[in-house]
């Protein structure tokens, strides 16, 4: 598939999220993500507002579902989400019902391998259970905690190629990527590029980053989309 650029709206205010989303779409972003902080702050209301404002744009609801999967997918689908996220560390039955709900409500399922002892096996298991995409994810707390111990900060790029080679469905790398790293994700075979904290968002305060974000995003989108011509 051709590269897709997704912006994670890891904000806690729907008004700021809407402004950021509008700017991001002008810059060439393809998908919007209702990030976990936004869902915690605004819930279904936030997803509905995004859908009302951007009726044709794919919207990922980063639920990080661990239980009660069918109902969560149904609620988010009815609010306007087109994609939902379920965790590999959830019980197998939860992943199965999320996949079934995805089929019932025409929503794509993104399986997230955050926290898996074996990230590659976690991705393979998610594909086997019917997920449509893999989110290869090194968590916010994990990265910061390891760095605080004076150890090298882990990156999703460390095993990205191995994850891509292990599955047949599209892969997205998430977790502290620099601008340069995000742009290079398609080189690893990961066409779904997510931009979020700390690349386009202030990671500490979860608010829009300072500076000319729109110009930066436009440049990033141009470089990522150029991979489709290679």
Residue 183 belongs to a domain with what CATH number?
Answer: 3.20.20.70
Q: What is the pTM of this model?
A: 0.91
The mean pLDDT value for 127-141 works out to 96
Q: Which of 85, 41, 88, 43 is nearest to 61 (CA)?
A: 85
Residue 117 pLDDT: 96
Q: Which residue has the tokens 């955050």?
A: 114
The mean pLDDT value for 187-213 works out to 70
Q: How many CB atoms lie within 10 A of CB 199?
A: 21
Those residues whose C-beta lies under 8 Å from the C-beta of residue 134, and which sit 6 or more positions away, are 110, 111, 113, 123, 126, 127, 163, 167, 169, 170, 171, 172
pLDDT in tens, 40-73: 999 999 999 999 999 999 999 999 999 999 999 9
pLDDT at residue 134 tops 90: yes
More confident site: 205 or 138: 138
Residue 208 pLDDT: 56
Q: Which domain holds residue 145?
A: 4-229
Element at 22 (helix H, strand E): helix 14-27
Mean pLDDT taken over the chain: 92
The mean pLDDT value for 203-215 works out to 64
Task: With cut-offs at 50, 70 and 90, classify the pLDDT of residue 198.
Answer: very low
Helices (H), 33-178: 36-53, 69-79, 92-104, 119-128, 140-148, 160-166
Residue 215 pLDDT: 83
pLDDT in tens, 79-114: 999 999 999 999 999 999 999 999 999 999 999 999
Q: How many CB atoms lie within 10 A of CB 115?
A: 15
Residue 166 pLDDT: 98
pLDDT in tens, 140-178: 899 999 999 999 989 999 999 999 999 999 999 998 888
The mean pLDDT value for 206-210 works out to 57
What is the torsional sign of CA 69, 71, 73, 79?
negative
More confident site: 207 or 125: 125
Q: Which of 218, 220, 190 is nearest to 2 (CA)?
A: 190
Residue 97 pLDDT: 98
Say how many domains are in the chain.
Answer: 1
């Amino acid at each position: 598939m051709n590269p897709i650029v997704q912006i994670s709206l890891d904000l806690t205010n729907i008004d700021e999220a809407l402004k950021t989303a509008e700017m991001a779409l002008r810059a060439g972003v393809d998908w919007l993500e209702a990030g976990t902080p936004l869902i915690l702050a605004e819930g279904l209301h936030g997803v509905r507002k995004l859908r009302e404002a951007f009726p044709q744009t794919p919207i990922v609801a980063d639920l990080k579902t661990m239980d009660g999967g069918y109902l969560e997918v149904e609620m988010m689908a009815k609010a306007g989400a087109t994609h939902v996220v379920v965790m590999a560390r959830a019980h197998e039955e939860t992943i199965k019902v999320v996949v079934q709900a995805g089929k019932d409500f025409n929503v794509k399922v993104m399986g997230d391998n955050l926290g898996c002892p074996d990230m590659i096996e976690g991705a393979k298991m998610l594909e086997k259970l019917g997920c449509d995409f893999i989110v290869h994810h090194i968590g916010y707390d994990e990265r910061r905690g390891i760095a605080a111990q004076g150890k090298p900060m882990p990156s999703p790029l460390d095993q990205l190629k191995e994850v891509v080679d292990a599955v047949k469905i599209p892969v997205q790398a998430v977790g502290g990527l620099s601008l340069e790293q995000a742009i290079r994700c398609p080189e690893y075979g990961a066409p779904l590029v997510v931009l979020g904290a700390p690349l386009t968002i202030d990671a500490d305060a979860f608010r829009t980053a300072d500076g000319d974000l729109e110009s930066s995003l436009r440049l990033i989108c141009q470089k990522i989309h150029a991979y489709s011509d290679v």
